[in-house]
A and B are shown apart, each in its own frame.
Chain A
Amino acid sequence: MYGLGLLKGLGVSMKRFWMPKITEKYPEVQPKLPERSKGSFQYNKDSCTSCELCSMACPNGVIKVEWHKDESGKKRLDRYRMNLGHCLFCGLCVEACPTTPKSIDFKRDFALGCWRKEDIYRVWTKEWPAAESAPDPAAPASPSAPAQGGN
Chain B
Amino acid sequence: MGDFITEADGLETQEFILNLGPQHPSTHGVYRARLIMDGEIVVSAENKIGYLHRGIEKIAEGITYAQFTPYTTRFDYVSGAMQPWAWCLALEKLGNTVVPERAEYLRVIVGELQRIASHLVMLGSMVLDFSAITPWTYVFNAREEILDLLEAVSGSRLLVNYFVNGGVNADIPEGWAAKTEAALDGMLKRLDDFERMVSGNEIFLGRTKGIAPVSAAEAIEYGITGASLRASGVDFDMRRDSPYSVYDRFSFAVPVIKGGDSFDRYQLRVLEIRESVKIVRQALKTLPDGEVRAKVAKVWRPAPGEAYAATEAARGIMGYQVVSDGSTKPYRVHMRSPSFCNIGIIPAKAPGLTLQDFISFIASLDFVLGDIDR
| Residue contact B152 to A91, C-beta cutoff 8 Å | no
B58:A59 contact, CB within 8 angstroms: no
Task: Label chain B's interface by main secondary structure.
Answer: helix
> Which residues of chain B from 312 to 344 have a CB within 8 Å of any chain A CB?
none
How long is the Cα–Cα vector from A91 to B154 in the complex, in angstroms? 10
Cβ-defined contact, B138 with A16, below 8 A: yes
Could you tell me the dominant secondary structure of chain A's interface residues? loop
Q: Is A112 an interface residue, CB under 8 A from the partner? A: no
> A73: CB under 8 A from chain B?
no
Which positions 21-41 of chain A face chain B at CB distance < 8 Å?
Answer: 22, 33-38
Query: Which of the listed residues B63, B148, B169, B173 has the most CB atoms from chain A within 10 Å of its own CB?
Result: B63
A1 to B209, CA, bound (A): 14
How many residues of B are in contact with the other chain, CB < 8 A?
42
Q: Could you tell me which A residues sit within 8 Å of B by CB distance?
A: 1-6, 8-9, 11-13, 15-16, 22, 33-38, 57-59, 88-92, 95-96, 106, 147-151
Is B271's CB within 8 Å of the partner chain A? no
Q: Which residue of A lies closest to B62 (CB)?
A: A150
B246 within 8 A of A: no
Can you name the residue of chain A whose Cβ is closest to the Cβ of B298?
A96
Q: Which stretch, B15-23, B90-98, B192-200, B282-290, touches the partner chain A?
A: B192-200
Q: Residues of A contacting B47 with CB < 8 Å?
A: none
Question: Given A22-B141, A57-B66, A36 and B154 touching (CB < 8 A)?
Answer: yes
CB distance from B62 to the nearest CB of A (A): 5
Min C-beta distance of A54 to chain B, whole Å: 12
A residues near B205, Cβ cutoff 8 Å: 5
> How far does the alpha carbon of A88 sit from the alpha carbon of B134 in the complex, in Å?
33
Q: Would you call B198 and A59 a contact (CB within 8 A)? A: no
Q: Are B153 and A36 in contact (CB under 8 A)?
A: yes
| Cα–Cα, bound, A136→B63 (Å) | 30
**B204 surroundings in chain A (CB, below 8 A):** 5
A150 touches B196 (CB 8 A): no
CB pair B153 A59 closer than 8 Å? no
A149 to B66, CA, bound (A): 13
Interface hits, B45-67 → A, CB 8 Å: 55-56, 58-63, 66-67
Looking at the assembled complex, report how far the CB atom of B76 sits from the nearest CB atom of chain A, in whole angstroms: 16
**A6 and B70: CB pair below 8 A?**
no
A9, A150, A151: the one within 8 Å of B197 (CB)? A9
Contact call A58/B67, Cβ cutoff below 8 A = yes
- Pick from B55, B60, B201 the residue with the most CB of A within 10 Å: B201
Q: Is the CB of B134 within 8 A of A57?
A: no
Interfacial chain B residues near A34, Cβ < 8 Å: 148, 151-152, 155, 173
Give CA–CA (A149, B54) in the complex, Å.
11
Known: A35-B173, A91-B161, A149-B59. A9 touches B66 (CB 8 A): no
Q: Report Cα–Cα, A28/B74, bound state, in Å.
A: 32
Q: Which residue of the partner chain, among B61, B69, B151, contacts A33 with CB atoms under 8 Å? A: B151
**In the complex the two chains form, what is the Cα distance from A5 to B203 in whole Å?**
9
Q: Find chain A residues with CB under 8 A from B70 CB.
A: 59, 88, 90, 92
* Residues of chain A lying within 8 A (CB to CB) of residue B74: 88
Contact A106 B155 (CB under 8 A): yes
Complex contact B155–A38 (CB within 8 A): yes
Measured CB to CB, the nearest residue on chain B to A38 is B155
Contacts of B161 in A (CB 8 A): 88-91
Partner of A9, one of B59, B62, B155, B198: B198
A residues near B199, Cβ cutoff 8 Å = 5
Q: Smallest CB-CB separation from B170: which chain A residue?
A: A36
Contact check, B59 vs A150: say whether CB atoms are below 8 A apart.
yes
B159 located at the interface, meaning its Cβ lies under 8 Å from any Cβ of chain A in the complex: yes
Q: List the B residue with the shortest CB-CB distance to A35.
A: B173
State whether B200 touches A147 (Cβ < 8 A): no
Output the residue of A15, A148, A149 with the most chain B CB within 10 A.
A149
